[in-house]
Structure 1
Amino acid sequence: MNERELRAGAVVVFGGVVFEVAYAIAGTPPGPIPLLAGLSAVATTTAAVLRKRAVVLGWITAVLLAADFGGAVADRFGVLGAPGTSGVTWGDWQTFTTYTGTLVPWLAQPFVAPLAVVATITETVLCAWLVSGVARRWAGRASAAVLAVFCVAMLTTVGGAAVAKNAVPVLAGGALVLASIPARIPAKRRHATGAR
């Protein structure tokens, strides 16, 4: 395990939990997929810190992070329902593009739509990458970086409630912890376990 990423991820996850609890008490709980992914990130972080079953929980966290990215992409194409439907953030491409412009108010209008496309491609790639398990440490690092960018952009424009609703700090920390965990049990440990 990469101790530096594990420690940094644990600090972000548990700090994010405090952030989430404060907003939940104030009436802004996270949505269902961010909640599940966040709980998985907490479980994975705890397991990694305690050195227990982190590999298995890491897979669960990777799949739930992928579901969060994939769900966000599906939402912007109306797969989860039309704009205004309960549980739907955007519901169509135009609403998502407008929201993207809200997150980057300093960006000239002609560049907002291309940025929305780049964000969509990035999240689609991260979704597939996390599920594939290929170079999962790098997938975790990339996911943490993207989520950190989202967190900063959201905090500075739409506020903490939107960040809390999407459990962004917990997911970013969980992705960083994921980067510290091997995708499979090391061969040395497998053989020792099988010998018992």
Structure 2
Amino acid sequence: MRIEKLLRPAGLIVVAAGLVFQVAEPVRPRTITLVVVVGAVALGLVSLAPGRGRQLVIARWVMAVLLALDFGGAVADRLGVLGGPGVVGVTWGDWDHFVASTGQLLPWAPRPLVVAAALGATVVESVLTVWLLSGWRRRTAGVVAAGLLAVFLVSMLSTVGTARVAMNAVPLLVGGALLLAAQQPLHRTSRSSRSISLNAG
């Protein structure tokens, strides 16, 4: 079985598990994260519906944009673009606070490795922001996004606990990225349609 065939059921399972997790946790996601969560759930529902072609293309595009905004917003936050530390709605507010937060996820790591991990995560999230918005090889972008978010999920669960995971709704973001990766690219669908039309003619 090709890996693509596993992505859709895996995404649906992770989204369902993420919903159960969010309901069980008293902590609610922040507004921006909540919008991305709604997109992930909507993509899951649309992918289950029959005759979902056009709606699925739209849901896929929306999910990609929402994930891009989430990654881009996180990068902007750690660079102080959204306000300084302590401002409402801001998680870090500057680079130093972000590095300190990264250190909480890697308590065993020496300072140079923590800084390198923080820089690496920032570079990958910045690339994903542009990549997801570009629409180029969106399936691959979804796989990379899901992998990065899964690393965050494991690190957070083993260090800072479930409350922070729930605040960022990480399981639902992983599921949304998997569902994004599971969908057929639009250009492939268009080619198939043209081929059918030519054969019919």
Which of 85, 88, 105 is matched with 1:86 structurally? 88
Look up the match of 2:6. Answer: 4
Look up the match of 2:173. Answer: 171
Partner deviation per Cα, 1:121-157 (whole Å, 9 max, x = no partner): 0100111111111111100000000000000101111
**CA distance 1:17–1:192, change in 2 (3 Å):** farther
Secondary structure, counterpart of 2:186 in structure 1: coil
Show structure 2 runs of 5+ residues with no match: none
Whether the 8 Å CA contact 1:66–1:126 is kept in 2: the answer is yes
| Partners of 1:159 and 1:88 in 2: CA distance | 20
**CA distance 1:177–1:190, change in 2 (3 Å):** farther
Give the alignment's Cα RMSD to 1 decimal. Answer: 1.9
Which of 59, 62, 82 is matched with 1:60 structurally? 62
Residue 147, structure 1, aligned to residue 146, structure 2: no
Whether the 8 Å CA contact 1:58–1:183 is kept in 2: the answer is no
Residue 180, structure 1, aligned to residue 182, structure 2: yes
Runs of 4+ in structure 1 displaced over 6 angstroms?
190-193
Which of 107, 128, 132 is matched with 1:126 structurally? 128
**CA distance 1:2–1:54, change in 2 (3 Å):** farther
Look up the match of 2:119. Answer: 117
| Partners of 1:34 and 1:181 in 2: CA distance | 22
| Partners of 1:57 and 1:15 in 2: CA distance | 20
Normalised to the residue count of structure 1, the TM-score between the two structures is 0.92
User: Which amino acid in the other structure matches residue 14 of structure 2?
Assistant: V
Whether the 8 Å CA contact 1:59–1:183 is kept in 2: the answer is no
User: Which amino acid in the other structure matches residue 149 of structure 2?
Assistant: L
Count of aligned residue pairs for this structure pair: 191
Q: Percent identity, aligned pairs only?
A: 48
Partner deviation per Cα, 1:22-79 (whole Å, 9 max, x = no partner): 22xx2x1101121111111111111112241211100000000000000000000111
| Partners of 2:19 and 2:61 in 1: CA distance | 21
Look up the match of 1:157. Answer: 159
Show structure 1 runs of 5+ residues with no match: none
| Partners of 2:106 and 2:180 in 1: CA distance | 28
Secondary structure, counterpart of 1:2 in structure 2: helix
**Greater Cα radius of gyration, structure 1 or 2:** 2
